[in-house]
A and B are shown apart, each in its own frame.
Chain A
């Protein structure tokens, strides 16, 4: 009896968190503020992958992967560039954002949880950048030199934003800061 209730709770939790994180992704993609950071290069840096990272870290890799899948689907459906109108590039890399973020986090959790969250966010973001640009090169949309440049100019700011937001959100949500902050009162 106890076990049935347990699995149900996990199931409901996973469904709901996935749904809400997908909602945030979709919303940020539509609003004039929040989803994209205009860069001098003309290409925008994005924050849309952060829900997948947070979902993966909070609820495990299946949730992260699923949020990533819907992120990919959404970006495929709304894309206006040839790069993201290619379902291979829009969807496949995004599946792995939350998955790698979760495993990086889970692996380092014992060392220091906050640090693990930060590394998870960085790894998840890097997964997105590297896989998207890598596939872009493989499918002939981009030259390798250009891809590396974009990875550096956009990947690094994206990682910084993702790490700051993820650490702040997860730490507040799990109340990690209170435990490591010295005072336990």
Chain B
């Protein structure tokens, strides 16, 4: 029965307490800087840009005093997928719609043809994935869930004037996070109840997916119905306590920005602009040509 202790699997907010500069940043500024970094990573598709990004991301990990192996542990489950995708790209080269111009073959064997576009695609998408995984783990390692929720609400607050319900959104996140463990226990109960009635929930194997699908129904349908009932109770409870939305509410935890926060944000902005503004494609060409001389 041990495998059905579902709370074990609930792992949100793997916070690593520390007193590093990254940990102490105001969550609002940290989130903005994080978003800028993600933008920089998403739109960088050259060797040089990704090398720089990788270096910067690893530097951040060191600054945040997160053990490097810890930060990279998210990469491990991705390795088989990456290997598979790389193999796939080599065997069946994609024709990206107007993304790349001319590709020249660098390696040929039997029907396998490796063009420089394919190599670039494999190297760049691998680097990009590693950067993003490390960045997102860094954010959750250095920020508690409460900080994240308050940070998001703080960021959205100015948008409240044009009708974005910042307070309500952060309440949604708070409710969701609060209910994940509760619903995990609920799910555990449902599974045990169905087992008591003779159901079998071992994985049926990849080739018997129809059986797996059928087995899901007596789990998911009760889960949804029980959750809806719980939400009904919560609605009544909130209304009974006079909840009327975010207007005029005060809060216990207040965020105050320090000079460090502005500095970090400025650094992230400049970095993002540089990464997007510099013509790395041309630099890449030059670099490849230069390497070709040897």
Contacts and interface: CB of A to CB of B under 8 A. Distances in A.
Contacts, number: 188
Contacts of A21: 227
A12 B239 contact: yes
Contact of B225 (A39, A47, A172): A172
A80 B178 CA distance: 25
A19 B179 contact: yes
Contacts of A138: 97
Given A32-B3, A80-B78, A173-B225, A16 B235 contact: yes
B209 A38 contact: yes
A37 B227 contact: no
Nearest to B191: A33
Given A11-B168, A140-B121, A19 B10 contact: no
A40 interface: yes
A71 to B, nearest CB: 11
A11 B220 CA distance: 26
B187 A31 contact: yes
A40 B92 contact: no
Interface string A157-174: 100110011001100110
B244 to A, nearest CB: 5
B128 A82 contact: yes
A143 B92 contact: yes
B209 A45 contact: yes
A24 to B, nearest CB: 6
Contact of B172 (A9, A22, A54): A22
B176 A82 contact: no
Interface stretch (A84-92, A98-106, A109-117, A123-131): A84-92
B111 to A, nearest CB: 16
Interface residues of A, number: 62
Interface string B76-105: 011001101100000010111101100000
A165 B224 contact: yes
Contacts of A96: none
B220 A34 contact: yes
B293 interface: no
A19 B227 contact: no
A159 B235 CA distance: 31
Given A50-B220, A172-B225, A15 B171 contact: yes
Interface string B106-142: 0000000000000001000110110011001000100
Interface in A5-25: 8-9, 11-13, 15-24
Interface in B156-197: 168-169, 171-180, 182-184, 187, 191
Contacts of B140: 77
Interface in B256-280: none
Interface string A60-87: 0000001000100000110011100111
Contacts of A172: 221, 225
B24 interface: no
Contacts of B250: none
A8 B168 CA distance: 12
Contact of A140 (B97, B230, B235): B97
* A16, A51, A76, A161, most chain B CB atoms within 10 A: A16
A26 B81 contact: no
Given A24-B227, A31-B187, A140 B128 contact: no
B290 interface: no
B42 interface: yes
A70 B239 contact: no
Interface string B134-152: 0010001000000000000
Contacts of A54: 224
A87 B180 contact: no
Nearest to B95: A143
Contacts of B92: 143, 146
B238 to A, nearest CB: 5
10 contacts: A12-B238, A16-B234, A20-B176, A23-B180, A30-B180, A33-B219, A37-B216, A143-B95, A146-B92, A172-B221
Interface of A: 8-9, 11-13, 15-24, 26-28, 30-34, 37-40, 42, 45, 47, 50-51, 54, 58, 66, 70, 76-77, 80-82, 85-88, 137-143, 146, 157, 160-161, 164-165, 168-169, 172-173
Sort A-B residue pairs by CB-CB distance and give the 10 closest, nearest first.
A19-B175, A140-B96, A22-B176, A23-B179, A80-B78, A143-B94, A169-B224, A85-B132, A20-B231, A82-B125
